[in-house]
Amino acid sequence: MPDVALQASGLSKQFISGGEPVPVFCGVSLLLKAGESLALMGRSGSGKSTLLNLLCGLERPDEGEIWVGGHRVGAAGDSPKEQPGQWAGLRRQSLGVVFQDANLMPALTLLQNVRLRASLAGQPDGQGPEWLNRLGLAGLEHRYPDQVSGGQRQRAALAMVFAMQPEVILADEPTGSLDRHTADEVADQLFRLRQETGCALVLATHDPELAARCGQRLDLAHPGRQSDCQ
Ligand X SMILES: Nc1ncnc2c1ncn2[C@@H]1O[C@H](COP(=O)(O)OP(=O)(O)O)[C@@H](O)[C@H]1O
Classify residue 19 as left (phi > 0), alpha (psi -120 to 50) or beta: left
- Give the total residue count for the chain: 230
At closest approach, how far in Å is the CB of 124 from ligand X?
34
Measured from the CB atom, the residue of 44 and 230 that comes closer to Mg ion is 44
Q: Does 21 bind ligand X (CB under 6 A)?
A: no
C-alpha 164/C-alpha 133 separation (Å) is: 16
Question: With respect to ligand X, which residue has the nearer C-beta, 44 or 230?
Answer: 44
Residue 63 C-alpha from the chain's centroid = 21
Which listed residue (46, 49, 113, 154) binds Mg ion by CB under 5 A?
49
Task: With beta carbons less than 8 A apart as the criterion, state whether 86 and 52 touch.
Answer: no
Tell me the closest approach of the beta carbon of residue 74 to ligand X, in angstroms.
17
Q: Using the rule CB under 6 A, is 174 a contact of ligand X?
A: no
Is 24 an interacting residue with respect to ligand X (CB under 6 A)? yes
Site string for ligand X, 28-67 (x = CB under 6 A): --------------x-xxxxxxx-----------------
DSSP 56-111: TTSS--SEEEEEETTEEEEETT--TTTHHHHHHHHHHHTEEEE-SS----TTS-HH
Binding site for Mg ion (CB under 5 A): 48-49
Binding site for ligand X (CB under 6 A): 15, 17, 24, 42, 44-50
